[in-house]
Amino acid sequence: MTWNILLQYGLFFGVLLVLVKPLGGYMARVFEGERVWLDRVLGPVERLTYRVLRIDPTQEMDWKDYALAMLAFNAVGAFTLYALLRLQGVLPWNPERFPGMSWHLALNTAVSFVTNTNWQNYGGETTLSPLSQAAGLTVQNFVSAASGIAVLVALVRGLARRSGKTLGSFWVDTLRATLYVLLPLSLLIALVLVSQGVVQTLHTSVIAALLEPTRDEGGHLVLRQVLSMGPVASQEAIKELGTNGGGFFNTNSAHPFENPTPLSNLVEMLAILLIPASLTYTFGKMVSDRRQGWALLTVMFAIFVPMLWLAASSEQAGNPALSHLGVDQTATALSPGGNMEGKEVRFGIAGSALFTTVTTATSCGAVNAMHDSYTPLGGLVPMWLIELGEVVFGGVGSGLYGMLVFAILAVFVAGLMVGRTPEYLGKKIEAYDMKMVSLAILVPAAAILVGAAIGVATAGGRAGISNPGPHGFSEVLYAASSQVGNNGSAFAGLGGNTPFGNVLGAVLMFVGRFWIKVPVLALAGSLVAKKRIPPGAGTLPTHTPLFMAMVFSVIVIVGALTFFPALALGPIVEHLQMVAGR
């Protein structure tokens, strides 16, 4: 990699690490019920909300009540969004007179946004009215993210409390995550994006004269173009901050109205990682041992950095088939070199590879380049990051509770190796706990492989494949991984807007979100009931480099053993074919 790329990446990581502690500490105070500086402004709004909804903020829930509240809240959100999308054609604020979605596309979209996946089988600017975008999708961008944070907070309380039965209140945690974390940060980021040229208006379109007249398919002269507009910056901010990923426009953050400058690109990438990274510090503070949070953040970086290097170096190396044709792919002062297919010139390979790694290490799925146009190994990086379980930073809340599940698995493996009952933060890890951990890890992995198998074994699945051979298989595998992993990005060569594709996708997204959430809450309920045991001579310290290496190894080994055969049929064999010139 060039010095220019290393400088960009160093700046990004430096700014991110500086922000982790202050934001993480602030969120710990929010979820521990302490006063924060926004109380004067938002406190009355919070208390009014409790009164209107008849919620007693002092009444806590056990894990079953917490899970039922979470499921009911998301079910109501899915039904409301489905109805809004189906009735879009007869609802107000629809100046383009877009019709309602088909039943299967509305189902897929509703499940997609409620599960924080934001998989899009449609073009936003040609399908959705401003009402659907703002009142439907943007609302779910906030509450689906807040729901993930709430489940994490419940698990952390299960580890932090010495003994008890309750994990807090889902309603309080979700509301405070929305009011005190997501809304203020979204407002700040939206203002920064507007300053860079991201569109924010209630007008839905504007007509612009073409600089160079052209002709349409019928041969008629075209002198003007209709440019779609709307409240983009407000949706863009929470799209990134809540690791949602669904773009206002079809080309997502590659569109100049969503991401116009290198600075806006940097801000959007920081927004994606900001909360997932900072929550590690929140975790450390809430369990009264900040070293625990720094340890998990170190593991995340230990996986993230090599994956970023592989993505950037693969794209910078370019395509050897073009080199054989005499095309110079060397980076110079006037050319970025490498594989620029599907990438925006204003971002180059450095900004595109970093964005791709960031958005798939988290469950965001926003894109500023087309992953389908990456080299085989460059495309393997986002696919495998998703398949690791979206724990390398991961989604807001969901990433860290996934990482904690792997940490508990690592403790269990260590206990087996030395013949001791495993403990994590003073809580014994027993058979029931490991059953919940196994469900959270193995069921989503199985869903990815089964979903990909259905996609290539059925006529309905094969109908959407536009490329033959290993790349076509990679498109299907990426789609199943993205949907189960609640990521939402795609290899764009796969067509999914069919009854088969939409229904299968909705099932995979539902399994990927709630089959992890419910076992995690059950695990939290088990842990909170246990008394904390003082550390002894045989206790495994869970903040040391040894333990970090164990967690790293467990994540990578589970990911490799589960998905390597499938990856070998897709991107790996495609890479070998590319190198061989076939």
Q: Write the DSSP symbol of residue 529.
A: T
Instruction: Give which of 545, 29, 553, 18 is closest to 291, Cα–Cα.
Output: 545
- What is the phi/psi pair of residue 520, to 5°? -65, -40
Q: Closest by alpha carbon to 400, among 295, 487, 258? A: 295
98 DSSP assignment: P
CA distance 224 to 348: 30
The answer to whether residue 18 scores a pLDDT higher than 90 is yes
Torsion of CA 337, 338, 340, 342, to 10 degrees: -170
Cite the beta strand spans of 220-376 per DSSP E: 221-228
How far apart CA 298 and CA 305 sit, in angstroms, is 11
pLDDT tier at 518 (50, 70, 90 boundaries)? Answer: very high
What is residue 417's predicted lDDT score, i.e. its pLDDT? 87
CA angle 415, 539, 521 (to 5 degrees): 65
Residue 535: which pLDDT band, with cuts at 50, 70 and 90?
confident
pLDDT band of residue 100 (cuts 50, 70, 90) is very high
- pLDDT tens, 481-501? 999 999 999 998 898 899 999
Indicate the Cα dihedral angle 472, 474, 478, 481, nearest 10°: 120
Q: In which element (H, E) is residue 449 found? A: helix 431-457
Considering the chain, what is the average pLDDT of its residues? Answer: 95
Categorize the per-residue pLDDT at 475 as very low, low, confident or very high, splitting at 50, 70 and 90. Answer: very high
CA distance 582 to 580: 6
Instruction: Please tell me whether residue 491 adopts helix, strand or coil conformation.
Output: coil
Cα separation, 408 vs 230, whole angstroms: 45
Q: pLDDT band for position 337 (50/70/90)?
A: confident
With b meaning 16 or more CB within 10 Å and e meaning fewer, what string describes 237-260?
bbbbbbbbbbbbbbbbbbbbbbbb
Indicate whether this model's pTM tops 0.75. yes
Q: Which residues contact 58 (CB under 8 A, 6 or more apart)?
A: none
348/488 Cα distance (integer angstroms): 23
Domain ranges of the chain: 3-206+224-580
Q: Which residue has the tokens 């493996």?
A: 413
How many Å apart are CA 95 and CA 307, to the nearest integer? 44
CB environment 140-171: b (16+ within 10 A), e (fewer)? bbbbbbbbbbbbbbbbbbbbbbeeeebbbbbb
Q: What is the 3-state secondary structure (H, E, C) of 347-372?
A: CHHHHHHHHHHHHHHCCCCCCCECHH
CB 112 within 8 A of CB 506: yes
User: Rounded distance, CA 489 to CA 485, Å?
Assistant: 10
Q: Say how many C-beta atoms besides its own lie within 10 A of residue 285's C-beta.
A: 22
Residues 410-468: pLDDT tens digits? 999 999 888 888 999 999 999 999 999 999 999 999 999 999 999 999 999 999 998 98
Give the number of residues written for the chain: 582
Alpha helix positions (H), 87-220: 103-114, 124-127, 130-131, 139-160, 170-176, 183-195
Backbone angles phi, psi at 203, to 5 degrees: -75, 140
Using only the alpha carbons of the chain, give its radius of gyration.
Answer: 23
Q: What is the pLDDT of residue 536?
A: 80
CA proximity to 478, closest of 342, 365, 350, 344: 365
The yes-or-no verdict on residue 117 having pLDDT over 80 is yes
Residue pLDDT, tens place only, 393-403: 999 999 999 99
Question: What b-and-e string marks burial along 455-466, b requiring 16 or more CB atoms within 10 Å of the CB?
Answer: bbeeeebeebbe
The enclosing H or E element of 206 equals strand 205-215
pLDDT tens column, 129-147: 999 999 999 999 999 999 9
Hey, how many other C-beta atoms are within 10 angstroms of the C-beta on 481? 32
Rounded Cα distance, 376 and 311, in Å: 10
Q: What is the mean pLDDT of residues 147-160?
A: 98
Distance CA 483, CA 346 (A): 29
pLDDT at residue 1 above 80? no
Residue 169 Cα distances to 114, 397, 551, angstroms: 20, 16, 30
